[in-house]
Amino acid sequence: MTPQIVITGLGVVSPLGHDLDSYWNGLLRGEVPVRPLDYPGTAVDGSLTYVVDGAPGSDGEIGRASGFAVEAARAALADAGLAGEGAEPETVGLCVGTGNGDSDLQEAERDGRRKLTGLQWFPYGTSGVLARELGLSGPATTVSTACAAGAYAVALGAEMITDGEADVVLVGGTEAVSRPAMGAFLRLGAADPVHCRPFDSDRAGTVYGEGAAFLVLESAEHAAARGRTPYAAVLGAGWSCDAFHVTAPDPEGVQAVRAAHEALTRGGVAKDSVGAVISHGTGTPANDSTESRTTATVLGGMVASVPVAAVKSALGHSGGAAGAFSCVTAALASRHGVLPPVGTLDRVDPECSLRLVRDVPESTRGTTLLVNAYAFGGNNITVAIGAAQGPGTAAEVRA
């Protein structure tokens, strides 16, 4: 029998703050911490961005994205009660999602601010940095499925446990401001000049964000043996690919719908248990109009009653970290039973029939939350996150 995978620790480095209380309360208050980027002497200087203050976790020898990851992963381990404990290093896995990795080091070399040493020339080294910094020797992988990478990291990390490869897995995503990536977005006219406005009539593109979000996964049995009460369970994940266009989603959305259905099927949960959706919600006209339709299709007759969140209004679009932020948010929403509002929502796109949470938090309606993440190349994933079952869980206490 495949074990149930539960979430027992969370950690973030975010524009809302670097501890869970600041993060969750900032989301619940609908904060929009966007501000001009400080990148003097370059064309992206002054671009509106959801920025992380400083370079937490980095001493300058590793890039900002790796630093964010170290900080968030340490916090997640501590939250799970695993910091400093004697978990066998080989039994703890790592699964990191990132789009641009430690781009900042190469940027500094290109504009003459520094010379690179060691492996600093390689941008996707975060999983190796984490293994070294945390003393881990289990499986460690890096997934770079663009803006869906963080959610894929959660799914692939869960499978490390079901495949018997690890007992505990740190999963998450990390992304830092990347000058060439921001430049490409600006060149394509894909950036909103105001702030990130998912599902708003006036949305005009996405807004870059940065940060890291990590979760500790383990089997329910393993968590119970440690006496831990999970936030929630990773029930299942559905993967698909539009195979339609490099940058645009397939407007038909057939594969996005399939990913959601497959997440439910793999999770063994009925559609009527869906009580909330954490949307991908980027603020781009194409994503949000397609996601409005596909999510409405998935929810069917429940579309008017199931609340939908769009956390990029508060976090910006943190690329390869975004899906992990959504999974962290789903875990918190599952524990607290509420969904944060879309802080930037003014006028809902009239073509969007979803019940977007606005102004104040709203209660979730059922035990399962769907997390959507989509990406360049038409890479789709939906992760079903829900109440954990079994010893020590809230479900058992209620029973």
Q: Are 249 and 338 in contact (CB under 8 A)?
A: no
Q: Which is nearer to another protein, 44 or 321 (CB)?
A: 44
From 42, 229, 297, 353, residue interacting with another protein (rule: CB under 8 A): 42
Cα separation, 155 vs 172, in Å, equals: 10
Residues that bind another protein (rule: CB under 8 A) add up to a total of 88
**Binding span for another protein by CB under 8 A among 26-34, 174-182, 332-340, 354-362:** 174-182
Site string for another protein, 81-100 (x = CB under 8 A): --------xx--xx----xx
Interface positions, 280-319, toward another protein (CB under 8 A): none
State which residue, 181 or 348, has the beta carbon closest to another protein. Answer: 181
Nearer to another protein, 167 or 362 (CB): 167
Sequence-ordered strand ranges (E) for 107-206: 140-143, 168-175
User: Which is nearest to 28 in space by CA: 382, 283, 313, 254?
Assistant: 313
Q: Could you give phi then psi for residue 339, rounded to 5 degrees?
A: -120, 135
| Binding residues among 367-396 for another protein as defined by CB under 8 A | 375-379
Which of 35, 36, 43, 46 binds another protein (CB under 8 A)? It is 43
Task: Give yes or no for residue 113 binding another protein (CB under 8 A).
Answer: no
Q: Show the binding pattern over residues 180-219: x = contacts another protein (CB under 8 A), - = does not.
A: xx-xx-xxx-------------------------------
Give the phi and the psi of residue 233 in degrees, each rounded to 5: -120, 145
Touching another protein, residues 242-261 (CB under 8 A): 242-247, 255, 258
Task: Pick out residues in 123-142 that bind another protein (CB under 8 A).
Answer: 124-125, 127-129, 131-132, 135-142
Q: Which position among 48, 237, 278, 298 is part of the footprint of another protein (CB under 8 A)?
A: 237
Q: Which of 26, 123 has the CB closer to another protein?
A: 123
Determine how β-strand 232-241 pairs with β-strand 379-386: antiparallel
Half-sphere exposure of residue 239: CA atoms within 13 angstroms, side-chain side: 9
Tokens 């600006």, residue located: 186
54, 268, 300, 391: residue in contact with another protein (rule CB under 8 A): 268
Contact 233, 7 (CB under 8 A): yes
**Nearest distance in Å: CB 30, another protein:** 30
User: With b meaning 16 or more CB within 10 Å and e meaning fewer, what string describes 59-88?
Assistant: eeebbbbbbbbbbbbbbbbebbebeeeebe
Which is nearer to another protein, 90 or 351 (by Cβ)?
90
Piece in contact with another protein (CB under 8 A), picked from 17-25, 26-34, 74-82, 176-184: 176-184
Tokens of 15: 């524009």
Report d(CA 197, CA 80) in Å as an integer: 34
**Tokens standing for residue 379:** 């890479």
Our CB check for another protein shows the closer of 25 and 137 to be 137
* Residue choice 81, 122, 336, 390 for contact with another protein (CB under 8 A): 122
User: For the chain, how far is it from start to end, CA to CA, in angstroms?
Assistant: 23
Structure token digits, residue 205 = 């593109």
Asked whether the beta carbons of 362 and 304 are under 8 A apart, the reply is no
142-171 residues in contact with another protein (CB under 8 A) are 142-146, 152, 156, 158-159, 162-166
Cβ proximity to another protein, 234 vs 309, nearer residue: 234
DSSP 144: -
CB of 185 to another protein, least distance (A): 8
Closest distance to another protein from the beta carbon of 340 (Å): 26
Q: How far apart are alpha carbons 122 and 377 in whole angstroms?
A: 23
Q: How far apart are CA 300 and CA 271, in angstroms?
A: 9
Return the active site residues. 147, 280, 317
